[in-house]
């Protein structure tokens, strides 16, 4: 080959590489593949619009109770419209309804001004929602009951001893025997004990706990606790039907590590799902087994065997969900690409045959291969699973930002739908009961960026409504829910029967009065009692006169029996804001320490002469 030819070839190759380089270089896309929204066909949009359109005056089909996360509240939406209907204050004062201002709700809050609500759980009868109560956890070792007769928080139990970071809650059992609690952040117990983190593996304790629910009133009380190694108990679900009587909790950090947990707690290939035989625990507690720690009965599995077992599961699992028939327990490592279906029958057999691979502080560890039925290749980052009426399972994929639909039994993955973005929990219509409805599925996404008018850096969460009536899932609607929905419940409207006013004959409040003639101010020493009537459009009495330093108790009854006729009692400069529903009596007690004249007025617009509904508190100075 001549020198000339050689150089020509070299130039030729160089030129080709350059051209190819330029071509490929300038073709780098501006967005990832599949990011381009495939333009939805006009007919698809019309169908979606029709399926979510609830005409003015029409009612939604489902109630959507979404946890409010660290807002401490429950938000109620209508489905399919996704309209926000109401906010139920639980752990945080809420001036809009006067919650946390009157004596009773203030006492219930117990000095806290926040809570962290993650997992609302509707009461059940035979594994189906019965529409009576909604139980919600708070990370501050508390649990609350909302009565669905009036959508009001009726009880907050706790902070309970020994429990720390109550995340794996409130998951009620199929006949609402118990609501559950669990420690996510192990601490030395009883609470108040100090020990260095160098003693973490031995002195810190995980605790799971059952809260008894009184069947008639729903009143909650501490039942029993089980002490465990210092794993981080994460999420739970109660067994049902085939697995009724059992409770399941996932944990991360079975390494018992401290410090930078994202590394130190990710060393082992498997963590655990605990299977707790709560009927056995109940029996043991009734037989007086267990030790008193922090004032409550705590069962130690080392001393009382046969109550708790550990099921190995993919590393750092998050959710655990029991299938409608109770036969399968679905759980997976949150960094895996598969989710595991454990077979309850096989778990029982393994327990009977002592098919153990070891133990953790006396708690037997079952053999993974003996209890699993299938590993379903759902996609990356499986977190939670909900169910449909015919064996459908829907698993949320955080990393993939999608929902996978698959089939129980055949374990085939049928469909996938992208979520915008980074889905956490998901909730299907009655999708965690023994009778899922199908129809709707809501993805509760952590990120929403770019899908709404910008509202600054504090971005809302997104909830996406998905139609699951057909083989393929279809996205119907984007809603931007109040921070921060973790888990939620979707219950058919026919199951919830709220009252619209408090019937007068049911009001047994000792300070209730029903006639303006009975309104007035009485004094006993330095205690002043004002009995107040609220009715369109007067607050009676119109003047309340006290001495500086008096303890003033204002008991107000809204004597209306008409829907929507709420009245407020805002007392300026005294930070008092009460809202009284029709037929309700509320009491507020305060010290009249500031002399002067302070207006009080109806805060909740009630009538054409609402502005005139006002009065004065006159505080005469100490002479």
Least gap, CB of 562 to another protein (angstroms)? 5
CB of 56 to another protein, least distance (A): 13
Q: Which 3-state string (H, E, C) describes 297-323? A: EEECCCCCCCCEEEEEEECCEEEEEEC
- Phi–psi pair at 203, nearest 5 degrees: -95, -20
Span interacting with another protein, options 218-226, 250-258, 422-430, 606-614, rule CB under 8 A: 606-614
Give residue for tokens 């107000």: 556
- First and final CA of the chain: distance in angstroms? 119
Nearer to another protein by Cβ, of 138 and 560: the residue is 560
Identify which of residues 211 and 613 has a Cβ nearer to another protein in the complex: 613
Of 315-344, which residues contact another protein (CB under 8 A)? none
User: What 3-state DSSP class applies to 617?
Assistant: strand
- Closest approach of another protein to the CB of residue 585, in Å: 18
Query: Cβ 534 to another protein, closest distance in Å?
Result: 12
Does residue 611 belong to the site contacting another protein (CB under 8 A)?
A: no
Comparing CB distances to another protein, the nearer of 58 and 345 is 58
Q: Distance between CA 235 and CA 251 in Å, rounded?
A: 7
Smallest separation (angstroms) from another protein to the CB of 608: 7
Complex with another protein: residue 82 or 501, whichever CB lies closer: 501
How far apart are alpha carbons 552 and 575 in whole angstroms?
14
> Quick one: 527 or 612, whose CB is closer to another protein?
612
Q: How far is the CB of 560 from another protein (least distance, A)?
A: 8
**Half-sphere exposure of residue 89, counting CA atoms within 13 Å on the CB side?**
17
Residue list 145-204, contact with another protein (CB under 8 A): none
Selected range binding another protein among 212-220, 343-351, 549-557, 605-613, rule: CB under 8 A: 605-613
Q: How far is the CB of 535 from another protein (least distance, A)?
A: 7
Site string for another protein, 534-573 (x = CB under 8 A): -xxx----------------------xxx-----------
- The distance from CA 525 to its chain's CA centroid, rounded to whole angstroms, is 47
- What distance in Å separates the CA atoms of residue 149 and residue 218, rounded to the nearest whole number? 12
Residue among 422, 411, 425 at smallest CA distance from 121? 425
- For residue 52, the SS3 value is helix
C-beta of 241 vs 536, nearer to another protein = 536
CB of 229 to another protein, least distance (A): 59
Instruction: Provide, rounded to whole angstroms, the least separation between the CB of residue 505 and another protein.
Output: 10
Residue 97 · residue 586 · CB < 8 Å: no
Count the neighbouring beta carbons within 10 Å of the beta carbon of residue 69: 20
Smallest separation, CB 504 to another protein (Å) = 10
Concatenated DSSP letters of 435-469:
S--EEEEEEEES--TTSS----SSPPPEEEEEE-S
Is residue 492 a contact point for another protein (CB under 8 A)? Answer: no
Q: Which of residues 498-517 bind another protein (CB under 8 A)?
A: none
Q: Is 609 in the site for another protein (CB under 8 A)?
A: yes
- State which residue, 219 or 612, has the beta carbon closest to another protein: 612
349 vs 537, which CB is nearer to another protein? 537
Stretch that binds another protein, among 23-31, 243-251, 314-322, 530-538 (CB under 8 A): 530-538
Can you say whether the dihedral through the CA atoms of 323, 328, 334, 336 is positive or negative? negative
Enumerate long-range contacts of 300-307, CB under 8 Å, 24 or more apart. 300/226, 300/227, 300/362, 301/226, 301/227, 301/228, 301/361, 301/362, 301/363, 302/361, 302/362, 305/362, 306/277, 306/280, 307/226, 307/276, 307/277, 307/280, 307/281
The answer to whether residue 612 forms part of the interface with another protein (CB under 8 A) is yes
Phi, psi of 430 (to 5 degrees): 50, 35
Q: How far is the CB of 57 from another protein (least distance, A)?
A: 9
Supply angle C-alpha 255, 265, 168, rounded to 5.
Answer: 90
Please, what is the Cα angle at 56 between 54 and 59, to 5 degrees? Answer: 50
In angstroms, what is the minimal distance from the CB of 179 to another protein? 35
Instruction: Please enumerate, as own/partner, the contacts of 575-578 that have beta carbons within 8 Å and a separation of 24 or more.
Output: 576/101, 576/600, 577/95, 577/98, 577/101, 577/603, 578/98, 578/101, 578/102, 578/554
Cα(230)–Cα(321) distance, rounded to whole angstroms? 23
Should residue 608 be labelled a site residue for another protein when binding is judged by CB under 8 A?
A: yes
Nearer to another protein (CB atom), residue 349 or residue 607: 607
Nearer to another protein, 340 or 538 (CB): 538
> CB-wise, 61 or 560, nearer to another protein?
560
CB of 582 to another protein, least distance (A): 10
Residue 311 C-beta: closest distance to another protein, Å: 55
Give whichever of 292 and 609 is closer to another protein, judged by the CB atom.
609
Phi/psi for 116 (5° steps) reads: -125, 100
* Token pair in block for residue 532: 């107040």
Q: How many residues form the binding site for another protein (CB under 8 A)?
A: 9
Closest CB to another protein among residues 404, 566:
566
| Non-local CB neighbours of 361 within 8 Å, separated by 6+ positions | 228, 229, 301, 302
Closer to another protein by CB, 80 or 582: give it. Answer: 582
Separation CA 162–CA 188 (nearest Å): 8
Chain residues in the site for another protein (CB under 8 A): 535-537, 560-562, 608-609, 612
């Amino acid at each position: 080959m001549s020198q000339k030819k050689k150089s020509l070839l070299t130039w030729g190759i160089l030129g080709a590489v350059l051209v190819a380089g330029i071509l490929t270089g300038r073709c780098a896309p501006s967005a990832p593949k599949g990011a381009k929204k495939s333009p939805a066909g006009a007919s698809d949009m019309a169908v979606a619009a029709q399926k979510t359109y609830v005409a003015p005056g029409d009612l939604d089909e489902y109630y959507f109770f979404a946890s409010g996360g660290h807002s401490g509240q429950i938000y109620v939406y209508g489905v399919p419209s996704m309209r926000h209907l109401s906010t139920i204050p639980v752990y945080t004062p809420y001036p809009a309804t006067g919650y946390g201002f009157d004596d009773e709700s203030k006492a219930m809050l117990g000095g806290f001004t926040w809570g962290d609500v993650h997992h609302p759980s509707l009461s059940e009868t035979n594994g189906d929602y019965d529409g009576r109560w909604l139980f919600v956890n708070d990370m501050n070792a508390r649990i609350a009951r909302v009565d669905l007769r009036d959508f009001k928080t009726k009880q907050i139990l706790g902070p309970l001893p020994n429990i720390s970071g109550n995340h794996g809650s409130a998951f009620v059992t199929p006949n609402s025997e118990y609501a559950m609690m669990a420690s996510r952040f192990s601490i030395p117990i009883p609470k108040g004990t100090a020990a260095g983190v160098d003693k973490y593996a031995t002195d810190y304790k995980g605790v799971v706990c059952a809260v008894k629910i009184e069947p008639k009133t729903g009143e909650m009380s501490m039942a029993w606790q089980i002490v465990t190694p210092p794993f981080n108990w994460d999420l739970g679900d109660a067994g049902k039907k085939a697995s009724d009587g059992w409770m399941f909790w996932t944990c991360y950090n079975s390494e018992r590590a401290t410090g930078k947990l994202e590394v130190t707690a990710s060393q082992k290939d498997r963590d655990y799902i605990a299977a707790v035989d709560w009927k056995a625990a109940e029996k043991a507690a009734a037989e007086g087994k267990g030790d008193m720690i922090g004032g409550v009965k705590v069962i130690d599995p080392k001393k009382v065997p046969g109550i708790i077992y550990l099921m190995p599961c993919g590393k750092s699992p998050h959710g655990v969900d029991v299938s409608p028939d109770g036969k399968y327990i679905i759980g997976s490592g949150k960094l895996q690409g598969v989710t595991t279906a454990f077979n309850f029958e096989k778990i029982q057999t393994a327990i009977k045959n002592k098919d153990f691979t070891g133990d953790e502080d006396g708690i037997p560890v079952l053999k993974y291969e003996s209890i699993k039925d299938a590993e379903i290749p759902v996609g990356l980052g499986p977190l939670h699973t909900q169910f449909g009426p015919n064996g459908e399972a829907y698993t949320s994929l955080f990393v993939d930002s999608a929902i996978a639909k698959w089939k129980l039994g055949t374990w085939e993955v049928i469909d996938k739908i992208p979520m915008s973005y980074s889905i956490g929990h998901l909730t299907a219509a009655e999708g965690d009961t023994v009778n899922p409805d199908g129809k709707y599925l809501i993805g509760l996404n952590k990120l929403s960026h770019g899908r709404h008018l910008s509202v600054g850096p504090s971005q809302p969460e997104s909830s996406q409504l998905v139609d699951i009536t057909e083989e393929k899932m279809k996205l119907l609607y984007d809603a931007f829910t109040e921070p921060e929905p973790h888990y939620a419940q979707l219950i058919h409207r026919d199951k919830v029967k709220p009252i619209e006013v408090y019937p007068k004959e049911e009001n047994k409040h000792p300070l209730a009065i029903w006639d303006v003639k009975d309104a007035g101010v009485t004094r006993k020493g330095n205690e002043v009692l004002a009995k107040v009537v609220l009715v369109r459009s007067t607050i009676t009495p119109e003047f309340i006169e006290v001495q500086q330093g008096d303890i003033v108790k204002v008991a107000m009854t809204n004597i209306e029996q008409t829907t929507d006729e709420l009245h407020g009692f805002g007392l300026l400069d005294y930070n008092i804001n009460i809202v009284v529903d029709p037929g309700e009596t509320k009491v507020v007690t305060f010290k009249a320490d500031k002399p002067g004249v302070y207006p009080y007025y109806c805060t909740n617009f009630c009538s054409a002469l609402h502005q005139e509904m006002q009065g004065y508190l006159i505080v005469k100075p100490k002479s």
